[in-house]
Each structure stands twice: as C-alpha cells, then as structure tokens.
Structure 1
Amino acid sequence: MTAPVLHTQRLTLRAPVMADFPVYAAFWASERTVYMGGPKDKAGAWFWFCHDVAQWALLGHGGLMMVHSASGETVGQVGLNGGPKFPEVELGWLVYQGHAGQGYATEAAGALRDWAFASLPVPSLVSYIDADNAASIRVAQRLGAVLDASAPRPDPEDLVWRHARRIS
C-alpha cells in the first residue's frame, strides 16, 4: 500500500522521504527520546526510519511526517506501528524540538487514527506510553483514549492507552 497524504487544519501528513532523515536522526540523538528508548545513534535512528517506511508496503500502515502546511517545515512524525515488536497496532507520535506544546501531535494523531479506522480492519489502536511521559499521556487523553491495564505491551513498564472505534 502507498502511504496516504492526509490534511488537517494546519498540517500535511505525508510519507517520509530521504530528505527527512537528518532532522529525524537529530531528534533520535536528543534527550527528547528518553521515553522512547533513546537517545539513539545514527544507525538506531536509521532502523526506526526504515521501519516507518517499510511498514506501508508490508502492513498497509506506517509513519507519516507532520509538515506545517503554511511554512513547509517538518514538525514531527505520527505513525501506526505493527510487526513482531508490537502486540497490537500502535498509534504513536513524536514532535521535534521547538514544536512541542502547539497541539500538533493531537491534530496529527487524530487524523491518522480516523484514517486507520476507515481503512484498516483493526478493532482498536493502542498507544504505548512511558508512565513518566506526561505530555504524551495528555495527548492520548485528548484523543479520547482510555487506560487499559490488562493489555499486552512491548515494554512492561509502559502504560497502554486504548483508542476505540467510534460508533456512528
């Protein structure tokens, strides 16, 4: 499957391209990744970058870059993660330095969540979040996710926030 291009009020969500990697790698080298298993060196960042791209062909979902539509600046990434590392399809997000606290993660994750429920045969999505990552917990709550203490998780220390399909 080819990655979709999604539009929100302020963002364009599009497939990663090679030109995105330097900023992505800089993000993974930063302390901002402490709640996500980082920091990581360039090779570690490359692993996750390729993972996000390859999932589109292999699983029908993956990562999308968050591009500020007015400025053209990439402000982060949102993604649907699957495969052997993830017990369920995970809705995840990351926001680059200087762009946190502006609602981009909530905006992008809400759009990708809605696309996933319209396009994929998943009963729900989960977000695996470190218990100390208050900012990401707030994003999950704003998205309407609820804590699921009984859900399996790739890291036993993570909290699992469940995003249910909305019944129309």
Structure 2
Amino acid sequence: MTNIPTLETERLRLRAPRFADWPDYLAFLASPRAQFMGGPHTPDTAWSYFSNDVAQWQLFGHGALMLEDKKDGAVLGQVALCKGPLFPELELGWFLYEGAEGHGYAIEAAAAMLAWGFTAREEQSIVSYIDPENRRSISLAKRLGASLDETAQRPHPATLVYRHPRA
C-alpha cells in the first residue's frame, strides 16, 4: 500500500479519505454545488469518483486528501493531485462543502498540496482544469500564481488550463 501523506497547515489537517467521509462527499456531488464537476451526480457516479480519489494513491502515488479543521475535526472539503488516464497532465483540484467558503481554506489546502507535489513528488508541472464559468476557482488558481495556458492539452475542449509555477 502506498504511504498517503498527512499534510498540516496552520488550521487544517489534510488527510487520507475514510469511508466515514462518504456521506458528505455524496451530498456534495449530488448537489448543484458540483455543477463545475459535471454534476449533480448520481450515487453510482459519486462512488466512482470517491473510489478513484482513493485508488490513485495506490496506483500512482498521488490522489485526494480531505480537509479537516484542526479545531473541531469537521471535514470541510477536498484537495487533490490527480491524473490517471483521463487527464493529459497532473491536476491540482479542490472543492469545499457548503458553509466552508470565504474562510481561506481552499487556498490554504491547495497551496499545501501544490508544495507537496513540487517537493515530495518532484513534479515538474502541475495544472488545474477549470470550467470557464467557475469564477471562484479561476480566481483561486490566479491567487496561487497560476496562469492560463491556452496551448495545453485539456480533457474537454471548453476546459481552461491554469498552469502552476514551480516554486
């Protein structure tokens, strides 16, 4: 089994997904909040996503981590480095559960995962695939220092590709 890291930030613990995370994960993917991830999704599709997020650790040495508030243990969302056969490049992605936005959790978690990818994994390039209507994620990618790469391959023709600079 691949050693899944636990990353710590000032306020967050980024840890491996657990089956106990499934109900909130399903609720997110089944809701309109998942619109920029092709949702809302059925439970079958959501389970495939959840399983994929976990399996990528075993198959590729990267995958998803859940955002856990250090104060109270509440799970706030997810951050991931994923590739697999469906994406042309390694992707940094994130989402927050309802009520977790506006507190800086996404940038805190994404910056930690990005740093881990460039240091522990020694990645040379990391991108974020973003729906052109997802203004909040575009803004976050830019705040992380990413810039639009119009020449990059993309998983879907309409998807925007933001390339993160190597620190």
TM interval, shorter chain, is over 0.9
The equivalences for 1:104-119 within 5 A come to: 104-119=105-120
The CA distance in 1 between the partners of 2:114 and 2:9, in whole Å, is: 12
Alignment match, 2:70 = 69
The CA distance in 2 between the partners of 1:155 and 1:104, in whole Å, is: 28
Shift of 1:13: 0.1
The CA distance in 2 between the partners of 1:157 and 1:27, in whole Å, is: 23
The CA distance in 2 between the partners of 1:126 and 1:15, in whole Å, is: 22
Shift of 1:121: 3.8
Q: Deviations over 1:63-117 (max 9, x none)?
A: 0000011011000000011111010000000100111121111100100000011
Normalised TM-score (structure 1): 0.97
Shift of 1:16: 0.1
Alignment match, 1:159 = 160
Alignment match, 2:86 = 85
Q: Deviations over 1:110-136 (max 9, x none)?
A: 000000111224211000001110110
Equivalent pairs counted in the alignment come to 166
Alignment match, 2:129 = 128
Contact 1:123 1:164 in 2 (8 A): no
1:139 maps to a residue whose letter is L
SS of residue paired to 1:75? strand
Alignment match, 1:102 = 103
Matched, 1:16 2:17: yes
Contact 1:124 1:164 in 2 (8 A): yes
Moved over 3 A (4+): none
Give aligned-pair identity as a percent.
52
Alignment match, 1:54 = 55
The CA distance in 1 between the partners of 2:114 and 2:4, in whole Å, is: 14
1:5 maps to a residue whose letter is T
The CA distance in 2 between the partners of 1:58 and 1:49, in whole Å, is: 15
The equivalences for 1:36-51 within 5 A come to: 36-51=37-52
Shift of 1:29: 0.5
2:152 maps to a residue whose letter is A
The CA distance in 2 between the partners of 1:164 and 1:100, in whole Å, is: 25
SS of residue paired to 2:151? coil
Alignment match, 2:149 = 148
SS of residue paired to 1:116? helix
Q: Deviations over 1:42-73 (max 9, x none)?
A: 11111010001000010000000000110110
SS of residue paired to 2:84? coil
2:120 maps to a residue whose letter is S
1:125 maps to a residue whose letter is I
2:18 maps to a residue whose letter is V
**Where does structure 1 lack aligned partners over 5 or more consecutive residues?**
none
RMSD, aligned CA: 0.7
**Where does structure 2 lack aligned partners over 5 or more consecutive residues?**
none
2:34 maps to a residue whose letter is T
